[in-house]
A and B are shown apart, each in its own frame.
Chain A
Amino acid sequence: EAQVTQNPRYLITVTGKKLTVTCSQNMNHEYMSWYRQDPGLGLRQIYYSMNVEVTDKGDVPEGYKVSRKEKRNFPLILESPSPNQTSLYFCASSPGVLAGGRETQYFGPGTRLLVL
């Protein structure tokens, strides 16, 4: 089954304790992205990757890191989480960028993070 998976689905942590949220897709997609969703703000892009070893900042990258060493995986790293990073996080992928902005994005189920 074609899908985007994220782990963990739920995470409670404390300020300053490094964590990683994994994202994996099995559709051979070139483009991957991380979003955070907060009430009343819609989705805001954190980082995106157009292909292996190619990543770039989105609208709200502060406090986050990513890497893209393999095509299928795009982990999100919070080196020193803070309470303002409490949010719902989504990973998404799409086939590529050759077709421009018309590509459909496929979303993972989300990771709900609480930073105390």
Chain B
Amino acid sequence: AQSVTQLGSHVSVSEGALVLLRCNYSSSVPPYLFWYVQYPNQGLQLLLKYTSAATLVKGINGFEAEFKKSETSFHLTKPSAHMSDAAEYFCAVSTNSNYQLIWGAGTKLIIKP
């Protein structure tokens, strides 16, 4: 069975600082990994995804994530936080044999001025 763990329900960073949101997964088969973002009062939208091509994946708004098989991780980073990045971020996993997405609990990113 697959599962996703996001470390930290809330992460607070200063504007201009590095953003690091952690995601660890478990899967017995090669996974597909996703980061979705939910801005206040909106639905979720795809930020980036890993589908077994390059391990470093670049997404929208300057975010990127690196798939590390040995660490079963897919952490999300952005070099310099902007106020507009304040949102909730969800990590999710699926596989080729099970297209259902398994979701993490979400991490709310707070940007301090």
Q: Identify the A interface with B (CB < 8 A).
A: 4, 31, 40-45, 48, 58, 90, 92, 97, 100-110
Contacts and interface: CB of A to CB of B under 8 A. Distances in A.
A100 B96 contact: yes
Interface of B: 9, 32, 34, 36, 41-46, 49, 51, 90, 94-101, 103-106
Contacts, number: 62
A42 B106 contact: yes
Given A43-B101, A90-B43, 13 more contacts: A4-B43, A42-B103, A43-B103, A45-B100, A100-B96, A101-B95, A101-B96, A101-B97, A101-B98, A104-B46, A108-B43, A109-B42, A110-B43
A44 B102 CA distance: 8
Nearest to B43: A107
Contacts of A92: 44
A54 B97 CA distance: 18
A75 to B, nearest CB: 17
Contacts of A100: 32, 94-97, 99
Contact of B43 (A31, A48, A104, A109): A109
A110 B44 CA distance: 9
Given A45-B100, A90-B44, A97-B99, A102 B106 contact: no
B101 A102 contact: no
Contact of B32 (A44, A102, A106): A102
A36 B4 CA distance: 17
Nearest to A9: B41
Contact of B9 (A31, A40, A43, A107): A40
A5 B47 CA distance: 20
